[in-house]
């Protein structure tokens, strides 16, 4: 019997070790095979197949229309592209509404994509759901603060933890999710001092987005990082490239060349 090579993929233990060593954890979203491969080659620790898929790839106004089939389709492609990063897939709106529904959703996602973990949005009330999945051996990332699946309940996208009551509820939620067994928690658009306080109070990693530098790691929507979108990115995301301009320039050059005198004159080579 030939010995199987040991997988080089990072695990939740590696992610915890990064946090314990004080090394920032780098996470980005990806929705396709090529991007996932490029992020993997760049040394990213975790890839999130976020339901931001709905906004940045599928053109929906919110994440609510994203289905589990959408997530599976894209997460499977990401898993085929990245062999080192730990891959986390979002359970989309309505698929983690109670522990048993969430368990069925998570099992389906893990079996059909090859990803290693799921992410669930929600505060302290999501803790029993997290506990149920963890008990079945499924790593779960929590997500508190600005939880886009609850946009209609929240009444918009804004910073969380400004009042002391809200701050206390967020601290309690983070502690409850950790107690339930979450391996990490996304803190989205929290008051930075509160995000830092939660990070100090937890023993698991916090992954911030728009919540300041005091988290154990950071996550960004990859399109916001590379400047690939039809709308400007949120103010906390500073693009490191302008891929939208590169695409526009290349496509305009192609159109101009094809429709110009040279293009009209040239004949396609015949296929032999």
Q: How far is the CB of 209 from ligand KIV (least distance, A)?
A: 5
Among 48, 88, 115, 176, binds ligand KIV (CB under 6 A): 48
Catalytic pick from 23, 121, 168, 188?
188
Residue 264, judged by CB atoms within 10 A of its CB (0-12, 13-18, 19+), counts as exposed
Rounded Cα distance between 37 and 81, Å, is 5
Residues 6 or more apart whose CB falls under 8 angstroms from that of 246 comprise none
Contact call for residue 90 and ligand KIV (CB under 6 A):
yes
> Residue 65 class from Cβ within 10 Å (0-12 exposed, 13-18 middle, 19+ buried)?
middle
Q: Looking at beta carbons only, is 51 or 70 nearer to ligand KIV?
A: 51
If one asks whether residue 196 binds ligand KIV (CB under 6 A), the answer comes out as: no
**How far, in Å, CA of 53 to CA of 77, rounded?**
13
* SS3 label, residue 68: helix
Q: Which residue from 196, 93, 191 is spatially nearest to 145, judged by alpha carbons?
A: 191
Closer of 181 and 217 to ligand KIV (Cβ): 217
Query: From residue 150 to residue 189, what is the string marking binding to ligand KIV with x (rule CB under 6 A)?
Result: ------------------------------------x-x-
Min separation Cβ 23 and ligand KIV, Å: 20
- Residue 93 near residue 66, CB atoms below 8 Å: yes
Count, residues near ligand KIV per rule CB under 6 A: 12
Positions in 110-139 near ligand KIV (CB under 6 A): none
Comparing CB distances to ligand KIV, the nearer of 110 and 146 is: 146
231 catalytic? Reply is no
Taking the C-alpha atoms of residue 131 and residue 186, their distance in angstroms, rounded to an integer, is: 17
User: Among residues 10, 25, 29, 106, which is the contact residue for ligand KIV, using CB under 6 A?
Assistant: 29
51 binds ligand KIV (CB under 6 A): yes
Distance of CA 69 to the CA centre of its chain: 17
Applying CB under 6 A, which residues contact ligand KIV?
29, 48, 50-52, 90, 143, 186, 188, 209, 219, 221
Among all residues, which ones are annotated catalytic? 188
């Amino acid at each position: 019997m030939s010995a199987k090579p040991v997988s080089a993929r990072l695990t939740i233990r590696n992610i915890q070790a990064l946090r314990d060593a004080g090394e920032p954890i780098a996470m980005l979203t990806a929705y396709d095979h090529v991007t996932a491969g490029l992020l993997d080659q760049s040394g990213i620790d975790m890839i999130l197949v976020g339901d931001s898929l709905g906004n940045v790839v599928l053109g929906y106004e919110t994440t609510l229309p994203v289905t589990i089939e959408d997530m599976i389709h894209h997460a499977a492609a990401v898993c085929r592209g990245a062999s080192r990063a730990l891959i986390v897939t979002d359970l989309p709106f309505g698929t983690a509404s109670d522990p048993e529904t969430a368990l069925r959703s998570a099992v389906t996602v893990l079996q059909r994509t090859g990803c290693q973990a799921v992410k669930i949005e929600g505060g302290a009330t999501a803790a029993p759901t997290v506990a149920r999945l963890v008990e079945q051996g499924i790593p779960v990332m929590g997500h508190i603060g600005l939880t886009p699946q609850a946009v209609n309940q929240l009444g918009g996208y804004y910073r969380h933890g400004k009042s002391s009551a809200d701050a206390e509820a967020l601290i309690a939620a983070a502690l409850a999710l950790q107690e339930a067994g979450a391996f990490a928690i996304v803190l989205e658009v929290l008051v930075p001092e509160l995000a830092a306080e939660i990070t100090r109070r937890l023993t698991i990693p916090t992954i911030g987005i728009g919540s300041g530098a005091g988290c154990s790691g950071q996550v960004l929507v990859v399109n916001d990082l590379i400047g690939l979108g039809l709308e400007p990115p949120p103010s906390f995301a500073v693009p490191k490239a302008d891929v939208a301009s590169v695409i526009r320039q290349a496509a305009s050059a192609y159109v101009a060349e094809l429709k110009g005198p040279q293009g009209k004159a040239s004949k396609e080579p015949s296929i032999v």
